[in-house]
């Protein structure tokens, strides 16, 4: 079957509803700081692939469990969305957990739309065909 990296698998399991965001946060918390930086950037790249929109950011924030006054929450509501996601991925370590929640929730919204539209039926994306 597909040999996905653990980060890729976990991110996509959350997007596909087979793993909870809280479980993913537990996993993310166990990573070292440099690894957390990489994962945050990875989610931004996946969001580009999924053609993320500003509306996805608003919906993602609502599902993230992050308060609207927190820095990642404030940024995700600004446009252009990809530039803001890049800023969120670059926030200092004390913001990493909230950044992870906001970015992953936003990706989940964008990727769910993609799975239900252009990927509907059969697609060859390994990350959409998790065993």
Enumerate binding residues for Zn ion (CB under 5 A). Answer: 119, 123, 125, 128
Smaller CB separation from Zn ion, 92 or 122: 122
Q: How far is CA 35 from CA 38, 40, 72, in A?
A: 5, 9, 19
Smaller CB separation from Zn ion, 50 or 88: 50
| CB within 8 Å of 123: residues ≥ 6 apart | 115, 129
Smaller CB separation from Zn ion, 52 or 66: 52
Q: Residue 85 CB, nearest distance to Zn ion (Å)?
A: 20
Q: Residue 125 CB, nearest distance to Zn ion (Å)?
A: 3
Structure tokens at 22: 């809280």
Q: Residue 80 CB, nearest distance to Zn ion (Å)?
A: 24
Angle at 9 between CA 4 and CA 11, to 5 degrees: 140
């Amino acid at each position: 079957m597909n040999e996905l990296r653990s980060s890729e698998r976990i991110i996509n399991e959350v997007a596909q509803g087979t793993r909870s965001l809280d479980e993913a946060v537990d996993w993310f918390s166990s990573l070292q700081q440099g690894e957390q930086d990489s994962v945050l950037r990875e989610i931004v790249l996946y969001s580009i692939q999924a053609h993320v929109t500003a509306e996805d950011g608003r919906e993602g924030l609502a599902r993230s469990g992050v308060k609207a006054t927190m820095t990642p929450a404030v940024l995700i509501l600004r446009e252009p969305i990809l530039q803001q996601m890049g800023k969120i991925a670059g926030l200092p370590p004390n913001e990493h957990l909230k950044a992870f929640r906001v970015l992953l929730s936003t990706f989940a919204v964008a990727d769910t739309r993609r799975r239900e539209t252009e990927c509907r039926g059969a697609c060859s994306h390994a990350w959409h065909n998790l065993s």
